[in-house]
């Protein structure tokens, strides 16, 4: 007998954990029309404002004129175009890696890496606050999963010391977000790289929220920290956030990429992204490298916002990235504050368990290079009003 699905759905509503979709009626930009009303949005991952950039749109159109709309087949059949190949070469050069390989989504990239590299009985160490895609990747890999305390390299070192021996034949992968999507902080990748070297492990960084944003050239967290391919051999980055398009890539040594081509099921058995999207991403990549002023403006907005929130006495996470979560505690309160902001025309989502721990519900503010200082001030004024009525 099948279970009644209405019961768990009602439980989600009563626990203030029910999720609802909103309908966007235009492009990604600060001023949007959502569900029929005009809002100022602080919730997009379009950190550099490239999703609606004229040059990116023009490149998409040119790509569609050349290659059509759909790829038509998997990369290993006849869906791999010159546009895809050029983008892979440019991503490899951008990130300082031997090669790069395109995937349709970051979720698929993370699943593909774990499935291709790990076997049953191998070992996988993950940060407790890793993205859901990395956790799911662990489950399908068949490896023994050990989750160390968040950003705690000491806890990881103890776990490695108890379980990893250099003379056995099991592979070991350490996998972490580079920038944590709900907290905005960075993983201690320098220490993790040292531990991986000591214990003979692979190290993988999911830099979905760092690519385009961090580093002098915008090449992400690894550039920002000065870490090389030898230190962090597996890099995953997404194209749908700071680069403003869609898809993902894995970059690293030649043998890694060739292994993924031969063995990653999420690469082999799916249709390639449209070549037009690859061409649009090439245009985005050019802008990222040629317009560092976008990152400078974004950093200035982050500093201004943090100063303003600090003066209000609200709890901010320790983040210098565009992800600026304000912790409010209970899910009900987070929803109330989010709704109150929406009534003032400000779209700031409430993030609740199970996405974040119990008692740590928050408003997840994300800033973009296309926000103005005046728009950030408008949000700060609205937050001040909420604090005054709390």
Q: pLDDT by residue (tens digit) across 166-188?
A: 657 789 999 999 999 999 999 99
pLDDT, residue 2, reads 84
- Both tokens of 326, joined, read 């304000």
Nearest to 387 by CA among 312, 317, 306: 312
Beta-sheet strand order (sheet of 350-351): 315-316, 323-329, 361-366, 350-351
Rounded to a whole number of angstroms, the distance between the first and last alpha carbons of the chain is: 47
Residue 216, Cβ density class (10 Å: 0-12 exposed, 13-18 middle, ≥19 buried): exposed
Every domain range in the chain assigned CATH 3.40.640.10: 54-290
CATH class belonging to 54-290:
alpha beta
Mean pLDDT throughout 214-237? 98
Query: Mind telling me the catalytic residues?
Result: 181, 209, 241
On whether the pTM is more than 0.85, the answer is: yes
85 is in an annotated binding site: no
In which band, very low, low, confident or very high, does the pLDDT at 17 lie, cut at 50, 70 and 90?
A: confident
80 is in an annotated binding site: no
In which band, very low, low, confident or very high, does the pLDDT at 355 lie, cut at 50, 70 and 90?
A: confident
DSSP 318: S
Mean pLDDT throughout 330-344? 93
Give per-residue pLDDT as tens, 99-122: 999 999 999 999 999 999 999 999
For residue 242, the number of C-alpha atoms closer than 13 Å in the C-beta half-sphere is 31
The CA-based angle 356-360-363, given to 5 degrees, is 85
Q: Which residues contact 111 (CB under 8 A, 6 or more apart)?
A: 133, 136, 137, 140, 265, 266
198 is in an annotated binding site: no
Give per-residue pLDDT as tens, 272-307: 999 999 999 999 999 999 999 999 999 999 999 999
Every domain range in the chain assigned CATH 3.90.1150.10: 15-44+292-389
Helices H / strands E in the chain, number of each: 14, 14
What mean pLDDT value characterizes the chain?
Answer: 95
pLDDT at 1 exceeding the cut of 80: no
2 is in an annotated binding site: no
Q: Per CATH, the architecture of 15-44+292-389 is what?
A: Alpha-Beta Complex (3.90)
239 φ, ψ to 5°?
-105, -10
In which band, very low, low, confident or very high, does the pLDDT at 39 lie, cut at 50, 70 and 90?
A: very high
Beta-sheet strand order (sheet of 37-41): 31-34, 37-41, 346-347
Q: Which residues pair with 202 in a beta bridge?
A: 173
């Amino acid at each position: 007998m099948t279970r009644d699905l209405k019961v768990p759905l009602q439980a989600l509503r009563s626990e203030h954990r029910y999720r609802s979709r909103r309908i966007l009626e235009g492009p990604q930009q600060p001023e949007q029309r959502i569900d029929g009303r005009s809002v100022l949005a602080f919730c997009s991952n379009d950190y550099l404002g490239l999703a609606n950039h004229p040059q990116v749109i023009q490149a998409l159109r040119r790509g569609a004129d050349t290659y059509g709309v759909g790829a038509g087949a998997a990369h290993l059949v006849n869906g791999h175009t010159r546009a895809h190949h050029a983008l892979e070469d440019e991503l490899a050069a951008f990130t300082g890696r031997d090669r790069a390989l395109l995937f349709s989504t970051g979720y698929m990239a993370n699943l593909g890496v774990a499935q291709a590299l790990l076997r049953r009985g191998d070992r996988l160490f993950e940060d407790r606050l890793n993205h859901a895609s990395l956790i799911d990747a662990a489950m399908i890999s068949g490896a023994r999963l050990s989750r160390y305390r968040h950003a705690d390299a000491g806890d990881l070192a103890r776990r490695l010391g108890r379980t990893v021996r250099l003379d056995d034949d099991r592979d070991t992968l350490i996998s972490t977000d580079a920038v944590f999507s709900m907290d905005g902080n960075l993983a201690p990748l320098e220490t993790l790289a040292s531990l991986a070297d000591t214990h003979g492990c692979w190290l993988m960084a999911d830099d979905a929220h760092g690519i385009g944003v961090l580093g002098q050239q915008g090449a992400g967290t690894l550039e920002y920290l000065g870490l090389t391919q030898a230190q962090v051999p597996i890099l995953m980055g997404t194209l749908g956030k700071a680069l403003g398009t869609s898809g993902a890539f894995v970059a690293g040594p030649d043998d890694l990429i060739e292994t993924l081509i031969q063995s990653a099921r999420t690469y082999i058995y799916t249709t390639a992204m449209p070549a037009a999207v690859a061409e649009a991403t090439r245009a985005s990549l050019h802008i990222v490298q040629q317009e560092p002023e976008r990152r400078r403006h974004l950093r200035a907005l982050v500093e201004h916002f943090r100063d303003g929130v600090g003066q209000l006495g609200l709890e901010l996470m320790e983040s210098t990235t565009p992800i600026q979560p304000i912790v409010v505690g209970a899910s009900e309160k987070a929803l109330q504050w989010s709704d109150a902001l929406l009534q003032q025309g400000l779209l700031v989502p409430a993030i609740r368990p199970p996405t974040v721990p119990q008692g740590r519900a928050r408003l997840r503010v994300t800033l973009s290079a296309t926000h103005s200082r005046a728009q950030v001030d408008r949000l700060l004024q609205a937050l001040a009003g909420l604090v005054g009525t709390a």
